[in-house]
Amino acid sequence: DIQMTQSPSSLSASVGDTVTITCRASQGISSYLAWYQQKPGKVPKLLISAASTLQSGVPSRFSGSGSGTDFTLTISSLQPEDVATYYCQKYNSAPWTFGQGTKVEIK
Amino acid sequence: EVQLVESGGGLVQPGGSLRLSCAASGFTVSNNYMSWVRQAPGKGLEWVSVIYSGGSTYYADSVKGRFTISRDNSKNTLYLRMNSLRAEDTAVYYCARDYNGEHGFWGQGTLVTVSS
């Protein structure tokens, strides 16, 4: 099975900073990669599909890139409401594995 | 309005069984991929199972042979039958409507606790 590895596992940044989270697949998955945001105590929310397609209503400071095995989620100007855990997930074929998550905090 | 409402969670002893339900409204379950995803307390997300619109089903290795995903088209409801439950199955279980594989819409979740 394909493994998904996220880095870092946690980060702390200041409001306005650019934050980058990396997700690596153990084998190529083309662009079948989604990013989710889970705020504390809340249900996960789909942010990005197909590696770079921003979902409706998601702020434009979020962006995704990559294909094959290496993917990136970027928050261009971190806001207090972005405090959350972010997960990548591959969905090219079952099993649809999640990364272990990246917890983002405000410094 | 699209809604997913899970039910059926609760406390069950190790080795026991439980059936989770996910009642959908605002769309047709049988026309979509539908998934179950779980989250153990304080842990990350774990994909559990999917049923395709054509009826094919797939499972995570951790639940294969113990869990069964199904749907009732007349009730527009998704199910997860869980047998031989273990302590490590303790989690909040979410159902999700999938778009092209990604989980586009999630229910609020139902908590399953496996403990004696």
Residues of A in contact with B98 (CB under 8 A): 91
Query: How many distinct helices (H) and strands (E) make up chain A?
Result: 0, 10
The mean of the pLDDT values for chain B is 97
Whether B2 and B106 have beta carbons less than 8 Å apart is answered as no
Whether A73 and A80 have beta carbons less than 8 Å apart is answered as no
| Confidence (pLDDT) at A19 | 98
Residues of A in contact with B104 (CB under 8 A): 46, 49, 55
Q: In Å, how far is A95's CA from the nearest CA of chain B?
A: 6
Whether B24 and B33 have beta carbons less than 8 Å apart is answered as no
Least Cα distance to A97 among A50, A22, A29, A42 occurs for A29
Residues of B in contact with A49 (CB under 8 A): 99-100, 102, 104
Residues pairing with A48 in the sheet: A35, A54
DSSP A25: E
pLDDT tens for each residue of A8-60: 999 999 999 999 999 999 999 999 999 999 999 999 999 999 999 999 999 99
Query: B37 pLDDT exceeds 90?
Result: yes
Mark yes or no for CB contact B61/A87 under 8 Å. Answer: no
| Confidence (pLDDT) at B101 | 85
Read off the pLDDT of each residue in B69-78 and give the average, rounded to a whole number.
98
Q: How many CA atoms lie within 13 A of B52 on its CB side?
A: 11
Mark yes or no for CB contact A43/B107 under 8 Å. Answer: yes
Residue B47 is nearest to which of A55, A92, A97, comparing CB atoms? A97
| Confidence (pLDDT) at A67 | 98
Mark yes or no for CB contact B47/A98 under 8 Å. Answer: yes
Query: B74 pLDDT exceeds 90?
Result: yes
What confidence tier does B99 reach under pLDDT thresholds 50, 70, 90?
confident
Provide residues of B within 8 Å CB-CB of chain A. 35, 37, 44-47, 50, 58-61, 94, 98-109
Query: B100 pLDDT exceeds 90?
Result: no
Mark yes or no for CB contact B102/A46 under 8 Å. Answer: yes
Q: In Å, how far is A14's CA from the nearest CA of chain B?
A: 24
pLDDT tens for each residue of A57-92: 999 999 999 999 999 999 999 999 999 999 999 999
Q: Give the Cα separation of A55 and A75 in Å (integer).
A: 14
Residues of B in contact with A1 (CB under 8 A): 61
